[in-house]
Amino acid sequence: MGLHSGVPVKIQIHPAPAGTGIVFRRSDLNYFEIPASWQHVQRVSYATSLMRQGVLISTTEHLLSVFYSMGIDNAYIDIDNLEVPILDGSGGPFVDLLSAAGRKTLRRRRRYLRILRPVSVEGNGKRITIIPSSRFELSCDIYWDHPMVGRQTLDIEVTPERYSAEIAPARTFGFQHELDQMRNMGLIRGASLENAVCFNHKDVLNPGGMRFPDECCRHKVLDLIGDLALIGKPLLGRVIAERAGHAMHVALVAKIMSDASLYEVLTSEQVDEPLAAVAG
């Protein structure tokens, strides 16, 4: 089920040759291809959508976050509708599926994008910055005026192991008082307590409660990684997000990619990493 569209969707992930990257293929439209690239970003309000020649793929961030964090560089994603399925609202099921499928090492060096100098995007009290680092690190700060959320922060070096245990299980979330307005906007038609955390004015409505005390912040990190994945290469840098959202994430990516003086591209040999991998 798609979170916002509410329509059923079938998805299959296939291996792809070295150098392919992550490519969505609309199986209902003669396998029309939409690469997961910042150049194809179309909408970034409540989800990140990609479009090429009028063909849309919506809510891409969870799956892209998993690919990126689990070290999958090349895959075809065959999908028969316009929105990636929400599953349980987290990246956990995708991690489990990819882990069960396994992965293959390809005979081509992975290429990294390393940030050379600081770059920021900011506005309306929100900001996202990336500074040079030899690793991929994230610092996320969020605030909602709610007794179960408030201010939450998380600082993490993203590795497959830490991602699968600490980030992937965190679910998308929302607030009961916003539901009618969002539905009137054509959003969250597929939302339920089975695929999202929902708060009323003082508590959480989900019978099982929260998976982490700071699940909201962890999910924001999941989303952020999915948007950064649109760079198309693993990132070496420290990202500091302060109340940022999809639009600001994507603006940072576009700012980086529009100025080649901000980064350099290195091979895995230069950063002492293994060969590139493909979804198995």
pLDDT per residue over 24-58, tens digit each? 999 999 999 999 999 999 977 789 999 999 999 99
Handedness of CA 81, 83, 88, 94 (dihedral sign): positive
Nearest partner of 21 among 170, 231, 215, 237, judged by Cα: 231
Look up 249 and say whether it is catalytic.
Answer: no
Domains, the chain: 11-279 (3.30.1700.10)
- What is the tens place of the pLDDT at every residue in 55-109? 999 999 999 999 999 999 999 999 999 999 999 999 999 999 999 999 999 988 8
Predicted TM-score (pTM) of the model is: 0.94
- What is the tens place of the pLDDT at every residue in 119-174? 999 999 999 999 999 999 999 999 999 999 999 999 999 999 999 999 999 999 99
Q: Which of 4, 40, 219, 246 is catalytic?
A: 246
- Of all residues in the chain, the percent with pLDDT exceeding 90 is 92
Cα 272 to chain centroid distance, Å, stands at 25
Does position 263 have pLDDT exceeding 80, yes or no? yes
- Distance, in Å, from the CA atom of 222 to the CA atom of 191, rounded to the nearest integer, reads 18
Task: State both tokens at 83.
Answer: 């929105």
Judged by DSSP in three states, 157 sits in strand
